[in-house]
Amino acid sequence: MSKKVALVTGASSGIGFKTAVDLKNAGFIVYGAARRMDKLKNLEGKDIKIIQLDVTDEDSMAKCVETIIKDEGRLDVLVNNAGYGSFGAIEDVPIEEARRQIEVNVFGLARMCQLVLPHMRKNSFGRIINISSMGGKMYTSFGGWYHATKFAVEALSDCMRLETEQFGVDVVLVEPGGIKTDWGIIAAENLRKTSKGSAYGKSVKETAKKMRKNYNGNLLSDPKIISKVIVKAATAKKPKTRYLVGFGAKPAVFLRRILSDRMFDKLVKATM
């Protein structure tokens, strides 16, 4: 039997990079995709095929999938990892930026699913692994637009799982907690810039400081913890519907379930 083929979006760094490498080591033919090809050069030396992909561009997305099908004849696993977090008070974040975040984190992910599903249905097998977040189960200060995208990814994935199961296609959610990447530093800087001088300035300054401290510290989980779970989801005979992993993920989501809204609000303000 030929090797299974996997596509990892957002593969230039962090979780995406580690996932591409780990899937390759697990025996997959792996395509690592990102918007900028120069950011993917480190994957080439690891015998991973690189491909350009902009999840806000229809032609780019269609060409990416078409190229893989033409070269390999199949696409078995899609890891929808491309995405970003743009923090700021909902009042302060320009609607254009809010739309862009939804375009990348939700519509880009959904369109990639639409493009690969016909090929997976044809083979009566497929595995779509959507990278959500513990932020799709809870909320934090100044993360409204980001959390909105992850709540949407959770809902889309659950609905798609019901729809595609009949065709042998599994849809899996991976919900990382705090992971040691540049994501939090970038989000903190964007938060500071977005709400600088606004009515929320004082609170923003405190939140950004906490974010930078957390992401510069040693408590957060290594990206390899998430990549190993993704490989497990890709190779399991019957994967779980969702994997909640990484620093703080399970305790935070548990507390969200058992605490009242007001109590959880106080917890968020005190710790995040």
pLDDT at 45: 83
Task: Let me know: does 198 contact 89? Beta carbons within 8 Å.
Answer: yes
- 70-80 per-position pLDDT tens digit: 999 999 999 99
Torsional class of 239: left (φ above 0), alpha (ψ -120 to 50), beta (otherwise) = beta
Task: Let me know: does 76 contact 117? Beta carbons within 8 Å.
Answer: no
Superfamily of domain 5-271: NAD(P)-binding Rossmann-like Domain (3.40.50.720)
Q: What is the model's pTM?
A: 0.94
| Residue 35: pLDDT band with limits 50, 70, 90 | very high
- Nearest by Cα to 205 from 214, 213, 215, 195: 195
Q: What is the mean pLDDT of the chain?
A: 93
The answer, yes or no, to whether residue 132 has pLDDT greater than 60, is yes
Cα 207 from Cα 186, distance rounded (Å): 13
pLDDT at 187: 81
Task: Let me know: does 179 contact 215? Beta carbons within 8 Å.
Answer: no
The answer, yes or no, to whether residue 224 has pLDDT greater than 80, is yes
The answer, yes or no, to whether residue 60 has pLDDT greater than 60, is yes
Task: Indicate which residue of 31, 139, 146, 215 is catalytic.
Answer: 146
Among 57-61, 169-173, 194-198, whose mean pLDDT is lowest? Answer: 194-198
Rounded (10°) CA dihedral 119, 133, 105, 24? -40
| Residue 242: pLDDT band with limits 50, 70, 90 | very high
pLDDT, mean of residues 31-41: 94
Question: Does residue 84 have an active-site annotation?
Answer: no
pLDDT at 2: 77
| Residue 1: pLDDT band with limits 50, 70, 90 | low
pLDDT at 10: 96
pLDDT, mean of residues 35-55: 93
pLDDT at 218: 80
DSSP 12-39: TSHHHHHHHHHHHHTT-EEEEEES-GGG
